[in-house]
Amino acid sequence: MLTLYNVISSDGFIAKHDGGEDFIPDELWPNFLNLCRKYGTLIMGRKTYDAVQQYGKEFSQSLEELPIRKIVISGNLSFRPKKGYIVAHSPKDALAIAPDALVSSGPTLNNFLLKNGLAKNIILHEVPAAIREGIRPFDKDGIMLTPLEGAPELAGVKVYEYSVGARDSLQG
């Protein structure tokens, strides 16, 4: 099973509508790298991969140098990421490669994984900045989130960890 990970604003957004993430402090990058090390495999969508490539060499290079598997999901058969990344053409292909992994992505992939019961946990790092409107990490409707005890304390963020229950199958 998979663990979804996102940094969110204090009002629950992962990015502005234009994809901007400038409310996320650079100082949090080591927290993300530590999670990647812990899980040993990182899965991301193509848009997240593209965003990471725009973070600057210091950030993208530190991720690329991690001795972990890095999988990018893209439906584009001609997509070619940098060396060190594996391309999966669907979420199910990624799961065949890595059934247990950290997923850092946006709502499209997150919602697919939640809808299909493929994510067992969610980790959210909340920063103290509010952005008022933007992109949510996933659709909370129909999923049951149970807070997990013992979430680590990290400077500069509130850490929320949840176990994911079954989606509500009842139609209203």
Determine the Cα–Cα distance for residues 120 and 107; give it in Å rounded to an integer.
16
CATH of the domain at 63: 3.40.430.10
Domain membership flag for residue 171: no
State the pTM of this model. 0.92
Domain membership flag for residue 54: yes
Strands annotated E in 30-82: 41-45, 69-73
Determine the Cα–Cα distance for residues 101 and 119; give it in Å rounded to an integer.
10
Q: How many CB atoms lie within 10 A of CB 90?
A: 12
Domain membership flag for residue 145: no
pLDDT digit string (tens) for 78-137? 999 999 999 999 999 999 999 999 999 999 999 999 999 999 999 999 999 999 999 999
Domain membership flag for residue 168: no
Q: Are 129 and 9 in contact (CB under 8 A)?
A: yes
Full residue range of the structural domain in which residue 20 is found: 9-140+150-159
Domain membership flag for residue 123: yes
* Domains held by the chain: number: 1
Domain membership flag for residue 82: yes
pLDDT digit string (tens) for 66-79? 999 999 999 999 99
Domain membership flag for residue 53: yes
Domain membership flag for residue 166: no
Alpha-carbon separation of residue 55 from 3, 29, 37, 48, 155 (angstroms) = 23, 10, 19, 11, 21
